[in-house]
Chain A
Amino acid sequence: MTTTSAQAVPRAVAVARLEEQWREQRSLRSWFATVDHKRIGRRYLVTAGAFFGLAGIDALLLRTQLARAGGDVLSPDQYNQLFTMHGTAMIFLFATPMLFGFGNALVPLMLGARDMAFPRLNAFGYWVFLFAGLIMFSSQFLGVAPNGGWFAYVPLTDLPYSLGRNLDVYTLGLIFLGVSTTAGAINFIVTSIKLRAPGMSLNRAPLFVWAIVATSFMVLFALPALNAANALLFLDRRFGTHFFQPDAGGNTLLWQHLFWIFGHPDVYIIVLPALGIVSAILPAFCRRGVAAYPLVVLATITIAIISFGVWVHHMFATGLPSLSLSFFSAASVLITIPSGIQVFAWVATMLFGRIVVRVPLLFVVGFIVTFVMGGVTGVMFGITAFDMQITDSYFVVAHFHYVLFGGAVFPIIGGLYYWLPVLTGKMASEVLGRWAFGLVFGGFHLTFFPMHLSGLLGMPRRVYTYPTGLGWDPWNLLSTIGSYVLAVGLLLVVLSVVLAVARGPRAAVDPWGGDTLEWAATTPPRPYNFASIPQVFGLHPAWDRRTLSRLETDEVLPGHQALLTSELDARPQRLVSMPEASLRPLLAALALLVVVLGLLWAVYWLAIAGVVATIVVVVGWLWPPQLTRAEAEAA
């Protein structure tokens, strides 16, 4: 497997040499050029967290406007921009990138690999995400933010009903962002297929990895629908095509189909990795592996597939034939089965294990409660007759916040507390964390539970104001109060993380006793993750004496090398060398940014210049190294 000469070197010397080879200079260039998946993962988390803050402030303003009937904190146009940006940013700029951040930081560690399969592509993906986010948020400060709702239904978003640049920011921004998401997804898939530690056959892959891989496959199939829809809308708006204009033979329902073919899988693209986080956290605090592992894998896979067959339940009121709706209704109702499997697997894990209550577990428990409540209302929306009555009311707002905040944000915060030692080497304060949990959990339910009621009372969503005397006032006031409590709780989360990084105690090695490989590395891990590539013998390698002892004694894999293994059973295949840090990913992302800005401002020579620059950078990036003389002679 490795060269014989390596065995002659004592282990300590080999490790020291490895340290030298992987050390990153503390320079500005190195900061921009790094391809270390842990640093990139942290950047994803911080950037997505910042976008979460901005979109959260949007939400607070919206709730302030709605605190009383006839509120006049915001103008109608401001309100419409804010709710559109809130939704768009939370879905596209917070949830997915945040979870990709966890994936970036953790997947290679959990697999026992040294980095992602394509480290430079990974860096490129981050930069593109950052630039797309900056474009979209800067539009808000310039007052030209998208204002068509996050699903941007035509004809409202098409000419002649939406002039101005607002919707161009939306279409171009999301296509640009899609580049990043697609790159990330391919990277996760290849990493998980090819870089698993020897012995980690499919039946031993961590559930979080299953979730990330399932998500990535969903991205590959779902995102093209969004990109195509946005491209067609951009062409309609900018170049006068007629895809969505009925007068010239187009069709407005086409947008809804295309958007939701992406949109509903996207809900699970957000929720699945979060469920994976839950499955990763539980073993450490229940002192046993997640119950019914094969069933949870089954659930992950089937959710990923069925989620592509439920999109029309967003269109139950469009007047399509009710028979064609029912095929989607059937899938929407029965997709609950795999979700139920996961919930009861977690409950079983807790029932059959020994529980240690720490902050991450609190957030998991809060997640299960909230997610189950969002799940039961989800079943209701799968029923066509009920959906036709309640959709587009505040009940729907309540439902999807239970699913998305409950299903994604609770696990994300739990994961943040759980993996803070891996990410930063520090421990967060338990006391502050418990306060944060209490405020977030209480504030969340105070904000969103009343929305079920205002929805049942007939309050439509996306209204900037409402009249008094319809029974909606008290529930809206409660929601607004709750949103401020929730905001305080979230600020406490941020505070506890900042405090931990600034002056928290250094984390012990494997402080929680987790079962996956990231806890078998040092805390925090070295740039090369593992000096020797781990051997896996079971589902819980970090609890496995065989794996741990061999990590100490196996020979060190020298240099910037990684071990490829076979796809299904993870048999060792061959060594490959990993790329070094490079500025090219950043340059490529900048060139693409020029293309997007050129299109946005309708300065087409700029866009063309950007395309040329992109080609130049990418050609340089991928230029194959010239053969060495020995290789040339061999050839």
Chain B
Amino acid sequence: MLSALATVAAAVVAACSTPPTPPAEVPGGDPARGAQLIAELGCGSCHSVPGVRDAHGLVGPPLDHFGRRAYIAGELTNNGANLQRWIRDPQSVEPGTAMPNLGVSEIDARDIAAYLLTLE
């Protein structure tokens, strides 16, 4: 029962806590909106993404601690610009990757990148 109580408390805290501040590498990015986009686009059906509901897919690599990763897909150094490029068109970075091109707009990619890079 204690664990159940703790879970509810955690849920309440999570719902009320202030949104994360955007990382410096993605100027103008909105991490909160990025998290919502990740849920809507279905990223979670392949990746587990901390802080995104129902995101525990085991198809692609887990995205926890993404802000501390060195490379993206083993191809690009991990920074804001590269991440946005990868999100918008993975095939151009790594032809033959299983990650599909989801037709993400520039603004959306910026917000998603902003969220992922807050995952320290």
Contacts and interface: CB of A to CB of B under 8 A. Distances in A.
Contacts of B7: 64, 73
How extensive is the interface on chain B, given as a class?
A: under 10
A487 B8 contact: no
Interface in A56-73: 57, 60-61, 64, 67-68, 70, 72-73
B45 to A, nearest CB: 13
Contacts of A480: 8
Interface residue SS majority, chain B: helix
Contacts of B1: 57, 60, 487
A484 interface: yes
B54 A64 contact: no
Nearest to A64: B4
Interface in A472-496: 480, 484, 487
Interface centre among A61, A64, A67, A70 (most CB of B within 10 A): A64
Contacts, number: 22
B5 interface: yes
B116 to A, nearest CB: 21
A67 B8 contact: yes
B4 A73 contact: yes
Interface string A519-561: 0000000000000000000000000000000000000000000
A60 B4 CA distance: 7
A484 B11 CA distance: 14
Contacts of B56: 72
A68 B7 CA distance: 12
A73 B4 CA distance: 8
B68 interface: no
A467 to B, nearest CB: 10
Residue from B1, B4, B7, B11 whose CB has the most chain A CB atoms within 10 Å: B4
A67 B10 CA distance: 12
A328 B54 CA distance: 45
A70 B52 CA distance: 11
Contact of B4 (A61, A68, A70, A72): A61
Contacts of B4: 57, 60-61, 64, 73
Interface of A: 57, 60-61, 64, 67-68, 70, 72-73, 480, 484, 487
22 contacts: A57-B1, A57-B4, A60-B1, A60-B4, A61-B4, A64-B4, A64-B7, A64-B8, A67-B8, A67-B11, A68-B11, A70-B53, A70-B54, A72-B53, A72-B54, A72-B56, A73-B4, A73-B7, A480-B8, A484-B5, A484-B8, A487-B1
Interface of B: 1, 4-5, 7-8, 11, 53-54, 56
> Which A-B residue pairs are the 9 nearest by beta carbons?
A64-B4, A70-B53, A57-B1, A60-B4, A70-B54, A61-B4, A73-B7, A64-B7, A64-B8
Given A67-B8, A70-B53, 4 more contacts: A57-B4, A73-B4, A73-B7, A480-B8
